[in-house]
Chain A
Amino acid sequence: MDQPPASSDLVLDVENFTIAYETRKGDVEAVRNVSFKVKKGETLGLVGESGCGKSTIAFGIVNFLGPNGKITDGRVQFQGEELVGRSEAELKELRGNRIAMVFQDPMQALNPSVRLGEQLAEVLTFHQSISQDEAWQRSIQMLKRVHMPDPDDVMNRYPHQISGGQQQRVVIAMAMLNNPALLIMDEPTTALDVTVEAAVLDLIEDLKNDFQAANIFITHNLGVVARVSDQLCVMYAGQMVEKGPVADIFRNPSHPYTMGLLASVPRLGETKSESILEPIRGRVPPPAERPKDACIFAPRCDYVTEKCREALPGMTAVSSVHEARCIYALDIDTQKRTRKKRKTVDEKEAPEPVEGIGKELLSFKSLKVFYPQESNSVVSLMGLGEKKFVKAVDDVSVRLAKGRTLGVVGESGCGKSTLVKGIIGLEPITEGAIEFLGIDITQTVSARETNLIREMQMVFQNPDSTLNPSYSIGRQIARPIQRFKTVPRNQVKGEVLRLLKAVRLGAHYYDRLPRQLSGGEKQRVGIARALASRPDLIICDEPVSALDVSVQAAVINLLLEIQEMYGSSMIFIAHDLSVVRYFSDDIAVMYLGQIVEIGPAEVIYEPPYHPYTEALLSAVPIPDPDADQKEIRLSGNVPSALNPPSGCRFHTRCPRRKEMLPQEGHICETETPPWQTTEQGHRILCHIALEDLKSVEAVVHTDASAA
């Protein structure tokens, strides 16, 4: 899409790069025969699932592989110089000077006990002979360049005193200080909230144009890579499977793995009723089990033939700049792989009437969950000080009908997890009323009746900690069955096997321990455990956000099937707006402990928007380089929930109030906004009149939303 950069100097030329790790069982190749080139002022995206060797490549370029990693083959030419085989001292000269790196967690790149200014200045004084004063001044200049508010002040702060997004800006500033020829970024925005991520990506794009560094951008997120990359390399199991300009790959994916990746993520605006997500079956093979003389993707490929298992396919040229490691790259009809529409749309519109569907299942009114803030001052220790509360959930009211799914979205710290903890009874409720099945459940779980507890179960986020590592899968699913006496004692094992089958796991999983399972399988067991008590309401707290995209789709499909089968109601929490939109019937958008917008899913993603929802939507990375997305960036940070802003809580960051309200939206600072309701049952908490909000242009125009 972009014109090729004016000067096409080659900065990095990697050829036949192979990296192995020494293990007890001998050397294991993590990266195999990877070749790519990066030019000045160009961004190369490296994309793939976990375990595909993306980060290993990044570390391999500067030979930073740890004690057991080694480069076994290939060459790396950086500005015409060979890097492989260089001494540690020579590489140290390069790192941080001509080659800079930015990692996922900024806190690991910053020393927590040294002021930011000293850390920034050190980068300059270490590599160049300049005075401390000059280094300090140039650091401030660079902080200004990365749009850091109040840079003089930031120089004197410690890393923990600024927010995560700002920390990442400092790390990027640090990387750019020596004007590096090559900038390697390894998942630089993965740990950030979506609105912060969007701003950091803008910055990266901006810096690329100014400094003309060659960038390598590593991520698992197709949306992010579509936004920042010029060239794209798709990695699978240590091999490069597809390479080419980003637009070509997204428009015409030629390797079945790339097609699979694109088919397994929901586009923003897609829904469960109109399209099906297609997961890639199986899992990425561990490095020791990767065949050397066959297509590595063959076991998971839908187009596999005998020929694929006979030899390792080479790169087939799809066009002069685009190639894929598949012998059928030119033959596979990519049109057939475009998203399948759900066939049974009509049947789904009128499902057979399950008893009680549509009846109210759960409702809460003016729910408040506050945490007392511990203060260490002497006054408060004596109990005299004014008690402060973190208002994690403040005045939230929702109704959920039976058989429906409520999606809750919002950035971290908006109170969505606390809300769920309050409902399920893990956190005491400060004020308000919750009714579940017509029974008041304002007490915590220990005070609830067993019959009530079993009707509400939860699916958790982290597959690695959702199961107790000490017990077999069978025993962990059996426990809730025994506890709630779902079936007679002698039928427990049969019930466990039935549940395993329901989540598409075989009976041989019964005796396995959690560590023998992959992330997706663990998540399925977690779902089976939640289903074991046959609950009316299943609360899913980010159930797919820790999974690889190809596995995500399978878990989402499973949850949908289960909902269809059992007629369960669900509360689905996620920060990924595309996933929430796909999965939910109703959506609530939370900001700083309050719901700011709620309504049926179809109307939330169309105007009228709450200004916050609008900003969120415009920040979502869309896996389509041609998508036309409005650019709205929020300024500032999420205010503290200890002392939320007066009037409308969003007024400190609202980009709309000044242009759409009289007196520059003075009313937002003083008065609590009213709920405004449209005819579709869509409610928005805002001072701006519905008519004005409706006149706003839609944020995204993609093929999906047009269709």
Chain B
Amino acid sequence: MEGSREATVSAENNIPEVEKTGRLQRIRQGLAVLFASKVALTGSLIVLFWIFVAIFAPLLTPYGPLDQDWKAPNQGPSKSHILGTDELGRDLWSRLIHGARVVLVILPLSENFWLPGGTAIWGVLAALLVGTTLGLIGGYYGGWLDEIVMRLLDAMMAVPIILLYMLIMSALGASAINVVIAITIVGTPGIARLVRSLTLDIRTREYIRAAETRGESPWYIMFVEILPNARGPIIVDAMLRVGYAIFAMGTLGFLGLGLPPPSPDWGSMVAKGREFILEGSPWAALWPSIAIASLVVGLNLLADGLREESMRYQ
């Protein structure tokens, strides 16, 4: 009996490492979840459409977003301008997809300098960084530290979101980087709450006690042992938050607190365009509104679909 058991073990040892639980397989599993849910698939198609047009914006239109055509202001869709023009004769398709660029693909720091990654994405990433750290600390340490951090964040959540955005933006001034800062400040409390609640659950698991009995540092436990196991809900939440951020950017643009005027911003496009709705040219206001709505709905569908599908697996 003893001998036979030895034999099976050594036979197993001879098997080359066939099983690849590598990244490839994980990606395949992720895609399987995506394709299993029609809701998530629809959402991701909408989002991918916007990312595609944003990345290739300069190639998809002959017009620049600031080019003005004095002979054709406030026109409806036509062959030369597929979505029409605004009151200065600027091509709406060009402005629309360049607007998507700012949201999803580039973060303009100054006139000539920009970073890859859209303004909304940067805002949410920064909020994730700050919120996750605060949530982990509060949830893992507990006690008075948790109490202080959470009460401060509660105080922030008590201020209405629009008001908070307006306060921050009017204090900092209108620029892309300030929009990122505003999104970060507004997004942090919600993320911190989520991460804290996840941490409170995960820290009771025995592998955390095993790490503690090894004498691991609190930072190792928080970021290496706890955080990866909280990633599912955090990713879903982050997708929803990108939607909120786009919404917020539209609102700020509409109120004149977003990106400075000439740049193609969906919110300010709606604000300008609404003056001409009753004059018979609703296009300038309509397209950016649809753009904001579709992108936010697309992200929501994606997040909801993924959440439901991954829950069903359990």
Interface core residue of B19, B215, B216 (most chain A CB under 10 Å): B215
A526 to B214 alpha-carbon distance, docked (Å): 13
**Are A465 and B212 in contact (CB-based, < 8 A)?**
no
Q: How far is the CA of A529 from the CA of B206 in the complex (A)?
A: 13
| CB of B209 within 8 Å of the partner chain | yes
User: What are 6 residue pairs bridging A and B, where the CB atoms are less than 8 Å apart in the complex?
Assistant: A450-B215, A467-B207, A470-B231, A472-B21, A511-B19, A526-B210
In the complex the two chains form, what is the Cα distance from A470 to B211 in whole Å?
14
The answer to whether A513 touches B13 (Cβ under 8 A) is no
SS of B interface (majority): helix
Cβ proximity bits B10-29 to A, threshold 8 Å, 1 near / 0 not: 00110101111110000000
Known: A467-B207, A468-B229, A507-B12. 11 other contacts (CB 8 A): A425-B213, A426-B209, A445-B215, A450-B215, A465-B206, A466-B206, A484-B214, A501-B9, A507-B15, A508-B19, A526-B210
In whole angstroms, how far apart are the Cα atoms of A426 and B203 in the complex? 13
* A461 CB-CB contact with B under 8 Å: yes
Docked complex Cα distance between A277 and B5 (Å): 15
Residue A453 interfacial (CB < 8 Å):
yes
Residue B237 CB within 8 A of the other chain: no
Q: Residues of B contacting A513 with CB < 8 Å?
A: 21
Return the contact of A445 from the options B9, B20, B22, B212 (Cβ within 8 A).
B212
Complex Cα gap A209–B29 (Å): 56
Query: What 6 pairs between A and B have smallest CB-CB spacing?
Result: A506-B12, A470-B228, A460-B206, A465-B205, A453-B215, A468-B207
The residues of B that contact A445 with a CB separation of less than 8 Å are 212-213, 215
Within 8 A of B (CB), among A410-464: 424-426, 445-446, 448, 450, 453, 456-458, 460-462
**How far apart are the CA atoms of A483 and B224 in the complex, in Å?**
14
Q: How many residues of A contact B (CB 8 A)?
A: 41
* Cβ B9 vs Cβ A458 within 8 A: no
Is the beta-carbon distance between B209 and A458 smaller than 8 angstroms?
yes
B207 engages A466 (CB within 8 Å): yes
Asked if A506 contacts B229 (CB within 8 A), the reply is: no
Give residues in A with beta carbon < 8 Å to B. 281, 424-426, 445-446, 448, 450, 453, 456-458, 460-462, 465-472, 476, 479-480, 483-484, 501, 504, 506-508, 510-513, 516, 526, 529, 533
Size category of the B interface is: 20 to 34
**B87 close to A (CB within 8 Å):** no
How far apart sit A31 and B209, CA to CA, in the bound complex (Å)?
A: 39
State whether the Cβ of B225 lies closer than 8 Å to any Cβ in chain A: yes
Nearest Cβ on chain B to A277's Cβ, whole angstroms: 12
Instruction: Select one of B206, B209, B215 contacting A446, CB under 8 A.
Output: B215
Inter-chain contacts of A504 with B (CB < 8 A): 5, 9
A501 with B213: CB separation less than 8 A: no
* A508 adjacent to B213 (CB under 8 Å): no
Distance to closest chain B CB from A475 (angstroms): 10
A506 CB contacts on chain B under 8 angstroms: 9, 12-13, 15
Q: CA separation between A507 and B9, bound complex, in Å? A: 9
Q: In angstroms, how far is the closest chain B Cβ from the Cβ of A447?
A: 10
Chain A contacts of B214 at CB under 8 A? 453, 457, 479-480, 483-484, 533
Could you tell me the distance in whole angstroms from the C-beta of B26 to the nearest C-beta in chain A?
9
B206 contacts which chain A residues (CB < 8 A)? Answer: 460-462, 465-466
**In the complex, which residues 1-47 of chain B have their Cβ closer than 8 Å to any Cβ of chain A?**
5, 9, 12-13, 15, 17-22
Contact A511 B210 (CB under 8 A): no
B146 → chain A closest CB, angstroms: 14
CB of B202, distance to nearest CB on chain A (Å): 9
Closest residue on chain A to residue B218 by CB atoms: A446
Is A466 within 8 A of B19, CB to CB?
Answer: no
CA distance A483 to B217 in the complex (A): 11
Cross-chain contact A501 with B215 (CB below 8 angstroms): no
Q: Which residues from chain A contact B17 at a C-beta distance below 8 Å? A: 507-508, 510-511
Query: Cβ of A501 and Cβ of B210 under 8 Å apart?
Result: no
- List residues of chain B with CB within 8 A of the CB of A526: 210
* Residue of A448, A469, A507 most packed against chain B (CB within 10 A): A507
Please state if A512 and B212 are interface contacts (CB–CB under 8 Å). Answer: no
A580 and B146 CA atoms in complex are apart in Å by 41
Give CA–CA (A457, B216) in the complex, Å. Answer: 13
Contacting residues, chain B, for A470 (C-beta < 8 A): 228-229, 231
* A468: chain B residues within 8 A (beta carbon): 207, 225, 228-229
Contact A426 B9, CB 8 Å, known A468-B229, A511-B20: no
Q: Please judge, given known A-B contacts A466-B210, A480-B214, whether A511 and B21 are in contact too, CB under 8 Å.
A: yes
Q: Which residues of A contact B225 (CB under 8 A)?
A: 468
- Chain B residues near A510 (CB-CB < 8 A): 17
Partner of A508, one of B15, B22, B210: B15
CB distance from B200 to the nearest CB of A (A): 15
Closest A-chain residue to B6, C-beta based? Answer: A504
A513 to B13: give the CA distance in the assembly, Å. 18
From A468, which residue of chain B is reached at the shortest CB distance?
B207
